[in-house]
Amino acid sequence: MTKEKKDSYGADQIQVLEGLEPVRRRPGMYIGTTGPDGLHHLIWEIFDNSRDEAMGGFANDIEVALLPNNRVRVVDNGRGIPVDIHKQTKVSALETIMTVLHAGGKFGGEGYKVSGGLHGVGASVVNALSIFCEVLVHKDGGIYAQEYSQGKKKANVKKIGSTKANGTIVSFEPDKEIFKEGVEFDFNRVVNHLRQQAYLVPALRITIIDARAWNGKIDIESDFYLRDLHPGAPSYTFFFEGGLSSLVKFSNNLFKPLHRSIFYVDKPAEGVESVEVALQYVDDISSRILGFANNIFNPEGGTHITGFKTTLTRTLNNYSKKNNLTKDGEDNFTGDDVLEGLTAVVSVKLREIQFEGQTKAKLGSVEAQGAVTTVFGDAFSAFLEENPEEARAIIGKAILAMKARKAAKAAKDSVLRKGVLEGMTLPGKLADCQTRDASESELFIVEGDSAGGTAKTGRDRKTQAVLPLRGKILNIERARLDRMLSSEQIKNLVLALGTAIGDTFDISKLRYHKIIIATDADVDGAHIRTLLLTLFYRYFRPLLDGGFIYIAQSPLFKVKRGKEIMYFLTEEELHKKLGKNLGGKGVEEILNATDEESRGEMLEAADADADADVSAGEEGEEVSSKKSNKLHIQRYKGLGEMNAEELWETTMDPARRVMKQVNVEDGQESDKVFDMLMGDDVPARKHFIQSNAKLATIDI
């Protein structure tokens, strides 16, 4: 006889979360993640409310300040949040907006004609995820205040002073219980995001201040903006009248334009308040397309970007055929052909807008696609007809891309054809792992045959594969696919990964779920690592987005005292641990002292201060004491200097190794850095090196 199961699923199992408790229980539903992206999303939500005031013509000055204790203060000179009693909730409208989900002035009333907010959850979500939140409203001559903690009010809205200003001040401190990875904001990330917003709202002044080192006090009645209180703090102020054309010009400042005029159009369409497009082609093989909907950046694109790309391809094909710029019988341009070298910004503004998800990464409004097709198609066709020289330059770029595509396809097919029989055509230098389960497999990309031999001996053969590279790979930043695949080193890497490349790239065929770059800790190693990251960023971006790329952290020092062995990644770590045994001297200072008299003085100081007789050899040799408590310090100059056992226990053993996972936080900034460091603009690279020289750790 079987025991009957008790049905315990009843009404008492149904939970009803009140107030802002759903946000604290499931923050990812509202801000995407509780990591750095979600943390900074709090600023964007509050800033977007201020920016919406500016879009409506009610504000023209916004200030964002990072304050001590990880607090953020956002100020605008708009109308000020209403503070009168809300008829439905029976409390202040301010309290309603800050403590009730789906409450706001953006649901179709006359408060906002166009806005970025549509769910009415932005301010209340920030409030729910903050340990401290305070709103000061300057309105109708009075200052009204309310303070909250974790989404709950601490007191009713009250008038605390008088003012001549109008606007809203929101201050908040993220809750460490929610953001366990940390609550420290990245000033440069804030600056880059808000610079972009300044381009999108012409004549809007945006100031960003890093006041985290400031210990002054804010006077609630007199200190509306903080920028004049501590002029020495790092700050930026942005004010652009050129709109999207200025943004395109800024994005292209590292490239040579193929045509002088920046195409620009801004017109309404049926169901859409505004379709705004700016574009320019440059001498480059990459494309940069930014999409915005109601001034919200959409990194994943959406219907407006789909409409733009389709229309761009069709318009250039039509113009080329009409003006006999391509030969009869020649293939049409593909989407990839016309995107090469393109920098474009597409911005739409809609009264009723739909995003896919609360983070608004992708636009879903169907009417946006048709509106962009109509407005951009007509205007761009007219631009080409009215500017024949510009049109020929653009078509010439597309023709060059089409020829390169065909050449690359032939080269790629040749490589992939050889890789059909998996297991028989893998690169000869690849020491593959035994498992065929990609989730368990790791590929170590190492520098040179010496390190490759050590890694092959020390690895776990079941799960770890090793691919040695001979010297520095081709810089692919300015190389097309056909030239890339003529490089033996890159071809070997493509075959080893198994994903193919270009339009046949298939991430599901990735043979290793951990691809680990293991290069020497010197200038050449850093260069090789940068070349590999450039390749992965430009042609294997899904591997970065999926978290498959890692950088191995191999130790610089091995320390042996008796039977005890320790490894250190940096000199700072070593000195912190063993400083008392070195007489206060830096390890590098002792190892690199070539003058016998200077070295002797250092060792005498070490002997006097730490009662240790330390003798030093040349660089790469040992530093040891002659007394019973022997201390041996070895500095590694490369992975090849380690034996197989040392490499395993420091760099390859999953239980003990340290690795950095590579991801892309800001695609636009990453794109700009790769263009600057790996492209053809020597003056920009020289300026970058000179500006950041003091930050570099130079191994001489």
Catalytic residues, by residue number, are: 447, 520, 522, 524
Q: Are 559 and 632 in contact (CB under 8 A)?
A: yes
Cα–Cα distance for residue pair 309/507, rounded to 1 Å: 24
Report how far Cα 634 is from the mean position of its chain's Cα atoms: 37
Cα–Cα distance for residue pair 97/460, rounded to 1 Å: 57
Name 167's bridge partners. 138
Q: Is the dihedral of CA 21, 25, 29, 32 positive or negative?
A: positive
Pairing status of strand 142-149 against strand 61-67: unpaired
Alpha-carbon distances of 245 from 192, 261, 266, rounded to whole Å: 17, 10, 11
Q: What is the DSSP letter of 509?
A: G
Alpha helices by DSSP H, listed for 211-334, are 244-251, 303-322
Largest interatomic CA distance in the chain = 93
Half-sphere exposure for 93 (CA within 13 Å, toward CB): 11
How big is the chain, counted in residues?
700
Which pair of tokens denotes residue 452?
């490759």
Q: What is the DSSP letter of 638?
A: S
Which pair of tokens denotes residue 195?
């610079």
CB crowding 370-400: b at 16 or more within 10 Å, else e: ebbbbbbbebbbebbeebeebbbebbebbbe
Q: Are 629 and 562 in contact (CB under 8 A)?
A: yes
Cα–Cα distance for residue pair 326/323, rounded to 1 Å: 8
Residue 628 carries which side chain, given as an amino acid letter? Answer: S
CB crowding 590-612: b at 16 or more within 10 Å, else e: bbebeeeeebeebbeebbeebeb
Q: Is 271 left (phi over 0), alpha (psi -120 to 50) or beta?
A: left
Which pair of tokens denotes residue 78?
């708009």
Residue in this structure with the two tokens 């770059």, named with its chain if needed: 517
Q: Which of 80, 213, 64 is nearest to 135 (CA)?
A: 80
In degrees rounded to 5, what are phi and psi of residue 327? -75, 150
